[in-house]
A and B are shown apart, each in its own frame.
Chain A
Amino acid sequence: MSDSHETPSIDRRLLDQPWRFWSTVAVAGTLLGGIILGALIIPVVQGRSAGLDAYTAICRALGILPGSPAQPQPSDRVQRTPVSQVVWTSELLHILARADPARGRTKALESCAACHGETGIAVAPDVPHLAGQSGPAIYKQLSDYRTGSRAHDLMAGIARALDETALADIAAYYAGRPMRNPNPATLAPAPAEIITLVELGDPRRGIPPCASCHRAGSGGPIETPVLAEQRDEYFIQQINLYASGQRRNDLYARMRTIAAQLTPSEIAGLAAYYRAGFR
């Protein structure tokens, strides 16, 4: 009886043999055809119209030779200072990650608390609250004050007196404070168009939603500040500085472009929205 079991299994293997052979041929053929087309024929033909010889075209298609950078610009333009000197290198992120809030508290009581408050709640209307603000955002602004990318008579001097680790520690201290309890009196319902601007933006004007960057954990640029529960006076002042170009330490003009398109009533509405911090 064992014979009758073995015979069909041998048969099946024999039956499968040509399939295995032809499928291997098909896969290998497709691969070979792809290589010939993609790495030889197309680069050579396209390279010819770009004035490249066959060898260069093939090497560039394979990524062995680098491409041709566009010709350098005539250097008759005076190079202006970059809008910010902050570069988010992994070393900097390490410094921020290792920052010590306890050390930051001591430093903050010495240098910051007089205006920004011990817990990060400021008293004067044009001084921003720092409680619960994003650490990288605080660090970026302090660093920009230090390098002169953001101008402020008082802040420039204070930031220059601190070293990089101190900036990171202070940022970590204020970032660790909880946000205020929102005052129920300020929780008036926001107008629909302001909610739309915050949640959906305005595609017609190319204004992205505020919440796409300024809500904690939204996935926007790392230096973006959290706006919830921020002072409205400070908010309006900064938007206007961006709009007029007096403040220009936002990388790639992200805020200057947006602020210049907002109407005064929109700015006031957004300030009121973010003062309350909640919908």
Chain B
Amino acid sequence: MTEIHQELHERRILGTELLWAFGVGVLIAAILSMIVFTALSIGVNPPSNVERLDPKALHLSGEFAEDNLGTSVGSDGRVVVRVIATQFAFLPRCIPVPVGRPVTLRFVAPDVLHGLLISGTNVNTMVVPGYVAQVHTEFTRTGDLLMPCHEYCGLGHSEMWATVQVLPENQFQPDSNGRVSCAQR
């Protein structure tokens, strides 16, 4: 091969490389701008709340003891939902929430990595043992929403799901302790 041929060959390789680098760069830029756009405009973000809790003793902790799970309304009107994600179920299995009001969802896992999303909403988080996964959201439509586990957690993973019941204000009735239960249908 002569010098000139070699030179042409090098240039052709360079051209191809630049083309691919440009294509990949455009893709990365597009995906990143999508993430930034959704983060800034509709509040999609990885849960930023860092809160540790001993996963081995959740049943002895005050907040996530069995009797304290589910939906409760504080004296200040704040709606807080506490849920345990365990192999292979959510406790409680039906979660009532009001429509059009801010809701704080708090999830913990005692055993392995779990995850969840509530279909049709921006709620989507991993539940890591040792941490509280906290999500603030507001449900905009009434109806039953599916909340499946979306992080493989073991052989029963595909049977792990719960229902989120978004209730109109007149059906969302806390009892004297501020607890709300799912409407029976």
Contacts and interface: CB of A to CB of B under 8 A. Distances in A.
A42 B155 contact: no
* In the A-B complex, the 8 residue pairs with the closest CB atoms: A208-B156, A67-B49, A212-B155, A212-B156, A208-B88, A208-B159, A201-B159, A252-B86
A60 B48 contact: yes
| Dominant secondary structure of chain A at its interface with chain B | loop
B67 A80 contact: yes
A5 interface: no
Given A201-B159, A212-B156, A220-B154, A252 B93 contact: no
B154 A45 contact: no
Contacts of A253: 66, 89, 91
Contacts of B136: 50
A254 B155 contact: no
B66 A82 contact: yes
B59 to A, nearest CB: 5
Interface string A44-82: 011001100000000011010011111111101101101
A191 interface: no
A213 B39 CA distance: 39
A115 to B, nearest CB: 29
A80 B93 CA distance: 21
Interface of B: 32, 36, 39-40, 43, 45, 48-51, 56-60, 62-63, 65-68, 72, 74-76, 78, 80, 84, 86-89, 91, 93, 104, 106, 110-111, 132, 134, 136, 154-156, 158-162, 177-178
A42 to B, nearest CB: 5
A258 B91 CA distance: 12
B110 to A, nearest CB: 7
A249 to B, nearest CB: 10
A79 B59 CA distance: 12
A74 B178 contact: yes
How many A residues touch the partner, as a band? Answer: 35 or more
Given A66-B51, A82-B59, A87-B57, 7 more contacts: A43-B48, A45-B40, A49-B43, A70-B134, A82-B66, A206-B161, A252-B66
B26 to A, nearest CB: 14
B45 A42 contact: yes
A83 B162 CA distance: 22
Contact of A67 (B48, B62, B87, B162): B48
A83 B59 CA distance: 7
Given A79-B62, A213-B156, A221-B111, A73 B48 contact: no
B4 to A, nearest CB: 15
B48 A213 contact: no
Contacts of A77: 67-68, 177
Nearest to B75: A74
Contact of A257 (B68, B91, B106): B91
A218 interface: yes
B50 A88 contact: no
Contacts of B63: 72-73
Contacts of B89: 206, 208, 252-254, 257-258
Interface string A193-232: 0000000011100111101110000111100000000000
Contacts of B43: 46, 49
Nearest to A57: B48
B39 A46 contact: yes
A209 B74 contact: no
Q: Which residue of A41, A43, A61, A253 has the most chain B CB atoms within 10 A of its CB atom?
A: A253
A70 B93 contact: no
A210 to B, nearest CB: 9
A251 interface: yes
A60 B45 CA distance: 13
A266 to B, nearest CB: 15
A89 interface: yes
Contacts of B87: 208, 212-213, 220-221, 254
B132 to A, nearest CB: 7
